[in-house]
Amino acid sequence: MFSSKFKLLSCFLFILFVTLSPLLYAQAPRVPNSIKFANMTLHLNDQAQRDIQLDVDALCRNPSYFKVKLERVNLYMPIIERVLREQGVPDDVKYLVIQESGLIPDAISTSNAVGFWQFKKGTAQEVFLQVDNQIDERKNIVASTRGAALYLKKHNNYFDNWVCALVSYQMGLGGAKNYFGSQYNGNKSMKITKNTHWYFKKYLAHKIAFENQIGKFTSNQHLEEIAVQGPTSLGELARNLGVSEDHLKEYNKWVSGKKIPEGKTYALTYITAGSAPLKPVLISSQNASSSTEPTKAVGTTAKNAAGFPKITGIQTKPYEAGQIKINGIKGIIAPVNSNPADFAERIGVKEGKFKRVNDLSKSTQVVQGNYYYIKRKKGKAAVETHVVRKGETLWEISQAYGIRLHSLKAKNRIYKDEDLREGMILKLRDYRRRNEPIQYQKVAPPPAAQQANYIQQPTSNQNKVHPEPTTSKSISQTHTVAKGETLYGIARKYGVSVADIQNWNNIANQSIIQVGQKLIIKKN
């Protein structure tokens, strides 16, 4: 008898829980008259409270819909919080992504804004997001959150007021300047009234609706983040990670096809059991098929035979200012092609200084994948010499070692690129004496032995700087560009330089190549 009653009671409680549990997600909270936001205090008058309460009620009206959205929020929010923290952006900003996309990775607005943080293509490229026929980082939770943080920080640098900065996310910096003027710059408290911009009041509704729900009713799963260096495929990664390829496609809609190209490090995500790690796991294409153990992710720009440039710092974020050092000097990798003025503005450096520390002329463009310095280079390098490879320029060598271009020229008394010869040994610390002959080293095509004998230039003519030119037959072949290939990767494949390929194919002013493009490759 007792057992039957207990079973009935248990059944009743279970039905009651199933019936009421959605309501636990969606009991609309009340809008207070004072809110803490991004180290500011916001005072809401009665009308503002009523306006915001209508939006809060609308967000919580449908318990099932709210529950589905909250599950997405709980899934992505640990990554969003970490990225914002790393970027020095207030934690409160995280509610904006819910307002923008509902955390739907491939959301598209009527104005053709795409992804988690709803970037248009031009704005995405301004904050270093890759958007092309292979990759769309607007749909990548890690990359797009960094981009949003960079965009908001730049605007807050002008306003020193996160309310104005947040509104500028919808209006643009110019629109926000016209709307606010400078009346709120630096304010730590603000009044929120019926005249406050609708976009910010809607943001406050999302903050109020979700802030006390995040982290509740979560399952024992989390979104794992892995830093991947291509080229590799989703199929290969899926086999390695023990998940289905369809699963990786579902949580990595930033990959347009099935392959991840070389050229940079990407954040790949998938669902796994257990609590989230404090830091993402790193995996490169070299070990993607055999191990999921953390590995050190490095920049993809080619290093010369001596192992330079030497990169230190947070090497998973080489495209962000202040995260890496190049030969001990603060630097950055250019994520997109740009002009020096735009690039300098994006990284918060004056254009003149950026050109000066990188020895750039007025007509020189910033090239995707190249290393650039933020602080001044040095008068001498960390090593004694450099052996010139075919196609190298004085500027490239100076950048590789972090030595000022005029110092490199003066040390070797060589002032023009056309005076460089393959195998020439350049001094990087000491000066070549007036009558000291230039030395040469035999250079084998890659992969080459790192140690070779020095060959001194014949001394029969002390004024003769360069060796006599030799003639050899060149054998040409055609390479068809495959999906995911870059000029750098093709150059490595054939043991030539990027400059060689550009010159042979009359593409000296471009670094972007197309799938199916025919490239002439010449071999001696």
Dump pLDDT digits (tens) for 81-90.
999 998 889 9
Say yes or no to pLDDT of 3 above 70.
Answer: no
Collect all residues with Cβ–Cβ distance below 8 Å to 7 and sequence separation of at least 6: none
Say yes or no to pLDDT of 509 above 80.
Answer: no
Q: Of 156-160, 324-328, 491-495, which range is least confident?
A: 491-495
What's the confidence (pLDDT) of residue 454? 30
475-523, what's its fold?
A: Membrane-bound Lytic Murein Transglycosylase D; Chain A (3.10.350)
Instruction: Give me the long-range contacts of 122-129 (CB less than 8 A, separation at least 24).
Output: 123/151, 125/336, 126/151, 126/342, 126/346, 127/151, 127/346, 128/319, 128/320, 128/335, 128/336, 128/346, 129/335
Q: Which of 241, 246, 312, 245 is nearest to 281 (CA)?
A: 241
Say yes or no to pLDDT of 289 above 50.
Answer: no
Say yes or no to pLDDT of 304 above 50.
Answer: no
Q: How far is the C-alpha of 515 from the C-alpha of 286, rounded, in Å? A: 23
Q: How far is the C-alpha of 105 from the C-alpha of 119, rounded, in Å? A: 12
pTM for the model: 0.56
What token pair was written down for 516?
Answer: 């199916």
Q: What is the pLDDT of residues 369-395, one digit of tens each?
A: 788 999 999 999 988 888 888 888 999
The rounded radius of gyration (Å) of the Cα atoms in the chain is 29
Collect all residues with Cβ–Cβ distance below 8 Å to 219 and sequence separation of at least 6: none
* Cross-strand partners of 518: 480
Q: How far is the C-alpha of 371 from the C-alpha of 396, rounded, in Å? A: 10
Residue 327 carries which DSSP code? T
The mean pLDDT value for 416-432 works out to 89
Q: What is the mean pLDDT of the chain?
A: 80
Say yes or no to pLDDT of 258 above 70.
Answer: yes
What's the confidence (pLDDT) of residue 359? 93
What token pair was written down for 8?
Answer: 């009935």
What's the confidence (pLDDT) of residue 190? 96
Q: What is the pLDDT of residues 11-47, one digit of tens each?
A: 555 554 444 444 444 578 999 999 999 989 999 999 9
What's the confidence (pLDDT) of residue 11? 57
311-456 sits in which CATH class? alpha beta
Q: How far is the C-alpha of 327 from the C-alpha of 381, rounded, in Å? A: 9
Choose between 120 and 1: higher pLDDT: 120
Run of H or E including 225: strand 221-229
Q: What are the angstrom distances between the C-alpha of 432 and each of 159, 418, 425, 429, 436? A: 53, 19, 11, 10, 6
21-210, what's its fold?
A: Lysozyme (1.10.530)
Say yes or no to pLDDT of 198 above 90.
Answer: yes
What's the confidence (pLDDT) of residue 324? 86
Amino acid at 106: D
Q: What is the pLDDT of residues 450-464, one digit of tens each?
A: 333 333 333 333 333
The mean pLDDT value for 177-181 works out to 94
Asked if the domains 311-456 and 475-523 are classified in one and the same CATH topology, the answer is yes
Q: How far is the C-alpha of 178 from the C-alpha of 170, rounded, in Å? A: 13
What's the confidence (pLDDT) of residue 474? 56
Domain boundaries, the chain: 21-210, 221-284, 311-456, 475-523
